[in-house]
Amino acid sequence: MKIFRILKSLISIKKTITFKVVEAIPHELPFIVFKNITNHNLEDVEDFRDTQYMSTFRKFLENNDRKGLYGYYKGRCVVHGWVVYNTTFKTKKVCGYFQLPPKSCFIHFCNVTEYMRGKGIYKALLYQIYNRLCKGYNIYIDTGKNNISALKAIKASGAKRIFQHITVNIRSHCIISFKKKYE
């Protein structure tokens, strides 16, 4: 029984919806200033997230396969988002589970500070990411099946859902995954 309980606590099932961008729909917010994430402004994420994110983001920059944007409201960082690229000719596994086709990029690790949610900032971030970081790539993005606000914003940004992805994970390692395609 104890072994069963331990196993249960280690195993998680994640259901996500994957989208592909078909047309970037403009969402401009003049009160948010977007900037590329670099070693100079990396620490600004501390305006709304724990210090651990700074070291994660530092690794992203060091690995050199990602780019990210911060958005600022009245000088404070209130939103971040990242893109990982596949510049090879083969499918590449990114973020531990996503099979990214060649010449494509995958948007991930997006977050809007709580007090600024519901003002269209995520949609504005996506528009900036599509235009500034994803030119020339097929663009993929996913989110949790129950993440209503993200699902709405991603759809409104000009992306179409392509499949549902179910992954069975031990800790954060995906051991089995299933895909259900949408028509």
Ligand X SMILES: CC(C)(COP(=O)(O)OP(=O)(O)OC[C@H]1O[C@@H](n2cnc3c(N)ncnc32)[C@H](O)[C@@H]1OP(=O)(O)O)[C@@H](O)C(=O)NCCC(=O)NCCS
Is residue 170 part of the contact set for ligand X (CB under 6 A)?
Answer: no
Rounded CA-CA distance 86/92 in Å is 6
Name the minimum Å distance from CB 112 to ligand X: 4
- Residue 105's H or E segment, with its range, is strand 104-112
**Two tokens, residue 146:** 């129950």
Is residue 26 part of the contact set for ligand X (CB under 6 A)?
Answer: no
Is residue 110 part of the contact set for ligand X (CB under 6 A)?
Answer: yes
Q: Which stretch binds ligand X (CB under 6 A): 12-20, 37-45, 48-56, 112-120?
A: 112-120
Name the minimum Å distance from CB 21 to ligand X: 13
Rounded CA-CA distance 28/125 in Å is 9
HSE-up (13 A, CA, CB side) for residue 145: 10
Is 28 exposed, middle or buried (CB count within 10 Å of its CB: 0-12, 13-18, 19+)?
exposed
Binding-site size, ligand X (CB under 6 A): 18
Name the minimum Å distance from CB 55 to ligand X: 19
Q: Which stretch binds ligand X (CB under 6 A): 56-64, 70-78, 116-124, 174-182?
A: 116-124
Is residue 164 part of the contact set for ligand X (CB under 6 A)?
Answer: no
**Two tokens, residue 151:** 């699902």
Nearer to ligand X, 29 or 39 (CB): 29
Rounded CA-CA distance 67/42 in Å is 12
Question: Cα–Cα–Cα angle for 88, 92, 94, nearest 5°?
Answer: 125
Is residue 122 part of the contact set for ligand X (CB under 6 A)?
Answer: yes
Is residue 118 part of the contact set for ligand X (CB under 6 A)?
Answer: yes
Is the Cβ–Cβ distance between 106 and 7 less than 8 Å?
no
Q: Which stretch binds ligand X (CB under 6 A): 36-44, 63-71, 104-112, 131-139?
A: 104-112
Among 59, 152, 160, 173, binds ligand X (CB under 6 A): 152
